[in-house]
Amino acid sequence: MHPPGKYAHFDVIEETPEFIVVSKPAHLLIHPTRPGGHTTLFHGLQTLLGFELANGGQISIINRLDRETSGLVLVAKTSKEARRFAKAMMRREMSKGYQAIVFGWPEQDRFTVDGPILREGDVRDCPVYVKQCVHDDGKPCSTEFEVIERFTSPEPMGVGDFRTDRFALLACKPHTGRMHQIRVHLAHVGYPIIGDKIYGPSEQLYLEFIETGWTPQLQRSLVLDRHALHSASLSCDDGNHSWTAPLATDLCDWLRMHGAAFRPGHEGA
């Protein structure tokens, strides 16, 4: 394994003395999970910001993404800026926009899912500890969705009820920040994100992946080796800060290979 930090690849979107915004690829962890573990975004930032850290700076990651989610991450470089952004997040004064590729064609061009979320294991037996679900006892949360494109793949993919040749690219705007919120809400209304090992066709696929790693059988079931979710935009309500990141290359390639007309820069609202 490469030394942590040396080979953490990501794109810098904007950098100032107070903060840096980067776009991370899928499969790159945000934080280390154990000593000597996988290279993470944090390691890469330590390398990039070595001068600042040696002169009293810090690394405070403001918005965290799942390992498989690609896209924008905001990082404060000073304690003052970290507090400012953290307060803005708590007050819901920061807007986030995502893009997702899903199984099926949503009937409406625009729709909102209002569904409280909690950990599924709190209300029923669940073999995946981190899995969340929509439940009346959960914390309130809401997500807006807009269809960017519906398209038909040259041949059906997936398994069981999710075997289909119909797919859609969506713009997603969460109004709250619950764990796995977009993934849970899309699965709840019957349009799970392709590649989602927990909320896709079966949670057993996640357990299989943990046991065996990625296999041809998982490829047939999940269609993609990561959940197709991308952090595409981030902005502060004060109007002074706004950032965007083009859809990740692997997702663009998948769309082109499977019949979509989508091209980066034509994302819609």
As annotated, the active-site residues are 66
Q: In the beta sheet, which residues pair with residue 179?
A: none
Both tokens of 68, joined, read 């498989």
The vertex-221 CA angle with 218 and 226, nearest 5°, equals 65
Backbone angles phi, psi at 195, to 5 degrees: 80, 0
d(C-alpha 255, C-alpha 150), whole Å: 11
d(C-alpha 198, C-alpha 208), whole Å: 11
Identify whether the C-beta of residue 203 lies closer than 8 Å to the C-beta of residue 139.
Answer: no
d(C-alpha 78, C-alpha 87), whole Å: 14
Identify whether the C-beta of residue 62 lies closer than 8 Å to the C-beta of residue 75.
Answer: yes
